[in-house]
Structure 1
Amino acid sequence: MPHRRIRLAAVGAVGLLLLSGCLHAAPASSIQEAPKDLGAQDVVSAVQADPALKELLPAEIRQSGVLTVGSAVGTPPIAFHPQDGGPPRGVDIDVADAVARKLGLTVKRDQVSGASLLTGLTAGRFAVGTANFSVTEERKKVLDFTTYLTDGTGILVRDDSSLTEVTDLAQLCGSSIGTGVGSTFENDLRRQQDKCVQAGKQPYRVSTYSDAAAHFLALREGHVDVLVSSASVLRYAAAQQPGLRLAGQLDRRDVGLATNKGAGLAEPLRAAIDALVAEGAYQKILAKWHLEEAGIQRSAVNPSAA
């Protein structure tokens, strides 16, 4: 562990994506989690444009010189607002900005969430969506995804916890668990809660939080034994908050930049990400956000999500 120091064919398709949720459906960050200097170091401006990669872009984007990006902004280290009210920061922000620079483009960013992110893509208000989107077969029916990270379901505990390496929810039977209200993690926990009873064990208890400060405070003060959320969010929290540690990750899923199906942008994005990996700029972004374990060696377009 480092030193303490996330265009549709019909309205129904939009509903499908909204119901499935973004992978990082953790509580929104509060001002306590985002001091003005958090993530302020610049690891992007040194990226140089590659004219050959720019030629891969759709003509309209290449000629405009602008990459329009819709970014969901919520929790460190994915994307968040610094305390001083400046532009959003996070791994999603840095990756999108670095990709744009490699393609010789300037980013124009809209800060959006939920339905606005998806309808903005479909309406052409922006070309790329970032929301720590996990790649799923259902989402691939209506969007293209270019991978840049992996994520999954993380388990965060206090340093004094007896839990060491959690690989199955059954290990949490009898525990009190905190998670984001209305998140995919809450849904998964409640759906599998009866497995403890079937195994003859005490069921775990689920408490939900809508605010990140309350979420982490509940763990630190012992109101819950475990937090379950995005592994990337929890890994970063463990690196930033003394007394907490990541006790496991239950799954691993590809995370991608979202573009409209067949828009011709997914492959140029893939080439740009691979170039960032080859030159080391990608690794600098991951190190900045303590996400080295979530990195990829090569990007892919619409990988299997089976």
Structure 2
Amino acid sequence: MRARCLLLLTAVLALVVSGCALPADAVDPPPSGVEPTEDVLSGVVEDEAIASLLPPAVRDAGVVRFGSSVGGQPPSSYYAEDNKTVLGLDADMSEAVARTLGVRVEREVASFETILPSLAGGKYDVGTGNFGVTEARKKTIDFVTYVNDGQGFAVRADDDRVTRVDGLVSLCGLRVGTGAGTTFEATLEREKHVCGAAGKPDYEVLSFSENAAVFLGLQQRHIDVVMSTINGLRHAAANQPNLRFLGEFKRLDVGFALPKGSPLAPALQAAVNELIQDGVYPRILDKWGTKDSAIPESLISPPEHG
């Protein structure tokens, strides 16, 4: 398996194309560390007042259709050892909100870059995938926030070319791996001009649909730097060998994604705020080691962090 992974990844990287996707069985997932076993959901029951905020059609159906990106690593969303059960902060938050609303989560796993367009087409009611709230996304998508995460960088621990990224000029001349369709990819592509302006060679952006491929590419030296979520990189650096987290670059609110103007938004917001007030919310974050990402209250499509 490992040899086949390297051959496939090397071939894909040689094409130097954006939005690369490897077959689901072509990449060994990064080690996930110990799977948390705390039961943080058993006490969550329906709140009738909050459930009354649901659109009648959703309440009658008793189901909310989720399109979810399962990124391959904790703490946001990943598979258990059975390669079927979805674990992580996103899964626990979705389930807690659904129980508060008295409905069931009907989840379909989808690639990250397809979920937001699918919301507009009506395929899903809600999208999850550590979607950061940006002004660009808010033109077509509404968000109900539930955590604060953001953008960070990591390198191999034995690579001392970059010790911190305070500005993207620190990446000039390097190969940066990231997720396709993410805020990371958008930021990197938008700001590529900073290298030329500084009289330095451009950095190269390599984008992948499979998150595991990014880390494999880093360790096999096809990629020099990884740009991903703050919480994801912190967890990876604590559990993967030869990986060093370079620190936070930019904070972003993260939310449930919905079609613009969705009548579900007030119900989801009220459910998240109830979980914050009754103590379930901090227990979920503690379970996944993300208490630094707590928000004081859920908001609908707040301004993007500067």
Q: TM-score range by the shorter chain?
A: 0.7 to 0.9
The 1:246–1:64 alpha-carbon spacing in structure 2 relative to 1, beyond 3 Å, is same
Does 1:96 pair with 2:71?
A: no
Q: Which residue of 2 aligns with 1:228?
A: 227
d(CA) in 2 for partners of 1:182, 1:63: 34
Q: Determine if contact 2:68/2:112 at 8 Å carries over to the other structure.
A: no
Query: Aligned to 1:65, which of 62, 66, 72?
Result: 62
d(CA) in 1 for partners of 2:113, 2:217: 30
TM-score, normalised to structure 2, is: 0.76
The 1:119–1:203 alpha-carbon spacing in structure 2 relative to 1, beyond 3 Å, is closer
d(CA) in 2 for partners of 1:207, 1:40: 35
Q: Give 1:300 deviation, angstroms.
A: 0.3
- Point out the more displaced range, 155-164 or 145-154: 155-164
**Unpaired runs of at least 5, structure 2:** 1-18
Counterpart of 2:80, as a letter, is P
Q: Determine if contact 1:235/1:290 at 8 Å carries over to the other structure.
A: no
Q: Which residue of 2 aligns with 1:106?
A: 104
Query: Aligned to 1:83, which of 56, 81, 84?
Result: 81
d(CA) in 1 for partners of 2:148, 2:223: 27
The alignment yields a C-alpha RMSD, in angstroms, of: 3.3
Q: Determine if contact 1:219/1:225 at 8 Å carries over to the other structure.
A: yes
Superposed, 1:248-267 pairs within 5 Å as: 248-267=247-266
- Point out the more displaced range, 103-112 or 174-183: 174-183
Residue by residue over 1:15-71, the C-alpha shift from the partner in whole angstroms, topping out at 9 and shown as x without a partner, is xxxxxxxxxx99888443266974565433332322221122222222333222222
Question: What percent identity do the matched residue pairs reach?
Answer: 41
Does 1:215 pair with 2:214?
A: yes
TM-score, normalised to structure 1, is: 0.76
Does 1:52 pair with 2:55?
A: no
Q: Give 1:249 deviation, angstroms.
A: 2.1
Counterpart of 1:96, as a letter, is S
Does 1:199 pair with 2:232?
A: no
Q: Determine if contact 1:27/1:212 at 8 Å carries over to the other structure.
A: no
| 3-state DSSP of counterpart to 1:32 | coil
The 1:200–1:283 alpha-carbon spacing in structure 2 relative to 1, beyond 3 Å, is same
d(CA) in 2 for partners of 1:27, 1:295: 32
Q: Give 1:227 deviation, angstroms.
A: 1.6
Superposed, 1:1-306 pairs within 5 Å as: 30-33=27-30, 38=35, 41-77=38-74, 78-113=76-111, 117-118=115-116, 120-162=118-160, 163-180=162-179, 185-186=184-185, 188-201=187-200, 203-204=202-203, 206=205, 211-220=210-219, 222=221, 224-305=223-304
d(CA) in 1 for partners of 2:101, 2:262: 16
Q: Determine if contact 1:142/1:261 at 8 Å carries over to the other structure.
A: yes
**Unpaired runs of at least 5, structure 1:** 1-24
Q: Determine if contact 2:126/2:256 at 8 Å carries over to the other structure.
A: yes
Q: Give 1:92 deviation, angstroms.
A: 1.7
The 1:118–1:225 alpha-carbon spacing in structure 2 relative to 1, beyond 3 Å, is closer
Q: Give 1:248 deviation, angstroms.
A: 1.9
